[in-house]
Structure 1
Amino acid sequence: MALHFFPLQKIKLKIRWKLLATLLLLITLALALTNSLWIYSIRPLLKEKIVAVQKEIAKHAAFRIDEFVQAKVRNLILHSQTEALFTKNIQVAQVELAILLKQDGDLRKVSFIDKDGKELAVVMPEKIFAQDELREQSESSQFIIPTFRYGAEYRSRVYFSPEGEPLITLSVPIIVPITRHNIEEISTIDPAALQRGEGEILGVLAVEASIKDILLRSTGSFDMGKEGYIYLVDGEGELIAHSNQEFVGNMDMSQADVMKLHIAQDKQIFQKTGGHPFEQIITSQGTSEIGKEVLATLYEIPRLRWGLVVEQSISEAFATLHRVERFALLLFFGGIAMTIAFSFWFAYLLTKSIEILHKGVRMIKLGNLGYRVQLHTNDEVQDLAEAFNGMIEGIENARKRDQAISRMKSEFLSIAAHQLRTPLSAMKWGLNMLLSGDFGALLPIQKKWIEKEAESNKRMITLVNDLLNVVKIEEGGFSYLFKSESFADLIVSVVKDIQVLAEKKDTKIVLDMPKEKFPPISMDIGNMRLALANIFDNAISYTMPGGTITTRLLTQNDSLLVKISDTGIGISEDEKKRVFTKFFRGVRAIRLETEGSGLGLFITQNIIRKHGGKIWIESEEGKGTAVYFSLPFKNKR
């Protein structure tokens, strides 16, 4: 029983290709499953790591931004502790303020305000304000906040100059410290280090600072790739600094998904707590302010309430993940390539033995029973080769026995036929003499019985001749003398000869021949006559009275096609395969016609094949039989 548990078993392919396809399929599935599971497990970790790295960049950048501003505050605190400011020496104070401007290139204006809110000195890089240009600042935030209660530094919201430069105002109170030895370590106003008595705030030192280069100085060392950038927004979401400074004042950052998420969360927290979060960090994978797919992280700097945003395009942000995926793909195709190489090598080892066995089968098929398969693989294939050799040895011995038996059978048939031929011929001669009246006139009843004996004698002679022909065919002694002859003339002659027999059986013979002449055929006319006689004899014998035998001649390519059909008893499907074997007669044929040798079609087949033709039958039980054979116009024997 054949087991078709794998689709490749139904496809006719060499085993090496089946093996290659099977191994390739199995390992491809294994590699695909392994890589998929690996990517599935590592992808979330890598994405989490990428997000964590971006958050760290945002935190470090925010720390540097905060430190940038606090450095300016510290510097302001240090410069607030001068004698000129304590003693209100305006001329010296103006010099001190000018030095401060020169030391810090980001400062655009420095103001010295007394404790009543009156500007005493204002210095800009390009000018020193005159007395009539000084203003009252007692109502301004830069004065109120530093002088309120114990005093604290003041940081304004970011605003823009007429030229579009982002600016911030910083101010600190001028207070006499308890000690000066550690004043340079103070980062913010520490009330514990300053005099806190009433009226000890002597005034305010304020500066107007540019933050145009705040990102370049604070975050320039961060590698943001080709498409990544960092920008700053204030507490209202307005852009105050950008890696591409052209965006400042010209870009609505509220359209970025990370900003929408930040504003929504900020409002939600404010509604719940009534205040803003101390620290907030948000990461979003969405669209940027210009509609590009990005990975963005926003970190809110608590002290400044500025939002620092780190943005990278998706392709660049997840470049590491994509490299891992490409590496997995490379492993996948590399594994397939190695599988193919291994499969070819393994298939070669396996199929080499099979090819040696196949060669042995071909040699045996050609009749070389002396051939032996030589395999030394020390495995099941060698066992198969040894079993194969043993089988061939058994076949060779059986063949020798069959040849010996066949030879004895042929000798027996030849001797028997020759021994029978002489007395049968003598009997035929004597019976013909009786029927011809050489020994006197016969009574009607005598003539009737002698005619029956003559018919039996004729059938016996035909059987003996058939036996002798079979012996000749098997021994290769059936001689042929080929000449170019007209097949149409031959078949007309044969039909004429058998017409009398057909009329006795009340069977009609129809000869359907085209008007055009056929090319001559190279044939042995005597043997071909015998072949046709055998076919017609069967048709007449197994067609019921009143039936019809039709003969048609056709041209098919370079051959003559002959069809001889009858309306007889037909042949069953099981018997069709055996009609051309020796001594075969169908069951229905034996019931209808008890006499017959079963050798006619065997002899006919051999004659047709010797003429380079083919013979076959089509039959349906109870409806009749059609015998076809073809003969080449140019004999290719």
Structure 2
Amino acid sequence: MQTKRVLRKKLALLFLGIAIVPFLLATTQALVKFQNSQRESIILQERRIASDAAKEIASFIRLQFAGIESIDEFQQHFPENEQFHQALIEHTLFSRGDFFELSVVSREGKELVRAHRIKVIAHSDLRDWSNSKEFHTVRKDRRYIGPIFWENNKPFFIIGEGTFSSKNEFLGAVFAQLDARVMQSIVRGLSVSEEFGQASIFDRNGTVIANQDFSKVALKENFSHVGIVAEALKSEERRAVAGIFKNEQGEEVIGASEPIRVLFGDGSSGVTLDTAWFVVAEIPSYIALASVRDSTIFSLVILMAVLFAAIIAALILARRMVKPIEQLRQVIQEFRDGHLEYKISLKTGDEIEDLATSFYTMADELRVSIKTITEDKQIIEAEKHQLERIISGITDAVIVTDIEGKIIIFNKIAEALTGYAMRDVMQMPVDEIVSIWQENSRLKIMAVYADRSRLSNGILLQRDDLLLLGKEGREAHVNLVIGTIEDGKQVNVGRIITLHDTSRERYLEQLKIEFISLVAHQFRTPLAIIKWGLDDLIEGGRFGKVSAEQRKFIEQLTMSGDHLIRLITDILDVIHIEAGQFGLQYVPHSLKDLVEEVYNDAKDLAEKKGLEFVYKCLSPQFPLVSIDPSRMRLVLQNLLENAIKYTPKGGKVLLTISLKGSQIEVIVKDNGIGIAKEYGGRVFEKFFRSPQAVRFQPGGTGLGLFITRNIIAMHGGKIWFYSEEGKGATFGFTVPVYIPPKDATVGALKGKTQ
């Protein structure tokens, strides 16, 4: 009796160990792996945020250099023409919102002309650059990017580019003073969510120059002794760094840094210009690893529940199984040796006897099943080899997993796309090899739910424009299709993943956009010079007075030039919108004043066409709105010009403005040709013009309403229309009322309603 009790205890401990130890080991290993994976994922995320910010700032600087390249080009042909230079830089200054000041400097370092956005520059105000660092740098290295400096409580920096003849002789330079607050806008855009942390920009002294908290920038706080900033400053050649650090509050953060470098040109022939700045993206560890902490607590709760259940089950099983255990062991031993016909009589009257009977029945069925399985296995192997041959000939990457998500087929295209060899990934979990991202979230292949009732031809998921991260961080843009087959469980096939590489298609699309942008820029500058020359002819400039017939002809040329310039400007705006580079300069402004200005400008056009043009202000007062006045003016001009253009002589155009709660609403209504119902869904598409509009007014690009819709969306507003063919159209939009910051001075805002 004592022996049985000891055996029961041993058996109970054995069952307990079998139940708990593997579970504990697996849980611990999974938690450690999950924590490491989460940490690496966050580091990769912060690297990407820092890299995106650095690229965006570099792209902004490169775009500004492109703006002054046109001045360089004309300086080579008209080096001594100060009047021409003055007109050219003033045109460039006020046509580009990011330039604050422009200067043209001679080869001796004397300032020939200078234009300022606010100040009027007299001849006596011209400066001598000959001893400046900027002048010597552009003379030696062609280009210059200066450090941040403050002027009237605003941050600025200077860029410069030298002008050289075809024989590489230095002819002079062009310098531009830029508003550095664009970097503040970039980091705010990257710090909108606590989930992704925040981004900052520092100079090589560790002083913050852009941060979500602008007070730190205004106070010029220095972080050279803090965490990742100190590591970035210590790194050789200012390389990117990433890892876990302590921030200024002593908190543990996960972060990455990326130096800002500007590449001019393409590939190996390009020139990289180093700036004095680098981007830091970081997120507190307690936020980044919150899911790991929650998983650990949940696992501990589950472990305690499993432990309690295992103890009870072990005690019960040990008590019931101690007597016939040896007999069952003998039966199992015989079965293991392949003697499936072996039987022994067990008369216990309980589940053990039933178990023994089941064993015998199972042995009989197993003998039959072994033969069937052997035959089926041969058939399955033949079909598998045939499937592998078919998949190897497919031009897309194809990966097949088993029911557990382990890779069983990996074709040659998948090897080329991911960088992994087939021999290295077989029987590996597919989610460890294939890392697919949609925006900032990773897509787990085996997490896709196989709901048969929702299947369409076996497809579980179909997504386009995803990012595939392969071996050693190799990136590719792909279209993804995840599917399954009806009898997948029977042949041990879980998922069939198809990846179509769209990287080259995206590359060609980018080349097309860059080509159109380049051509548009190259056209716009010569057209501006031609228009300047025609205006000079009309005004009776250096070539004397013109006759009435000549003036009429020149005015027609000027109108055609203005049309081309407007067309090119629209095309560039569309390119900037689609590239996410359509920058807006938001300021508190009166929308009512802006509406009245545009109305007054458009009255002559309406009167010449013989239209009744009416403006109504439907509210007594209007608060300010936060808008970019020049862009909002473009919206109003597009809507009014369309209404006037497509309304026949004798028709009516009505412009109204009203306050609707926290929104200001502007409506433009006409009784013109209208828009047919079948074309209503395409009105805001780029390049779209309805057949009625083309017949009534052949000229036009179909870009105005596309640009208008995007500008309104960027202001947080909404735009809509309703129309009936032959009875006119009504277009309306709303803009939210400006809400001042909490720390704004009451006196500074007093009396700002209209």
Q: TM-score, normalised by structure 1?
A: 0.43
Q: TM-score, normalised by structure 2?
A: 0.37
Structure with larger RCO (C-alpha < 8 A, sep 6+): 1
Give the structure with higher Rg (CA).
1
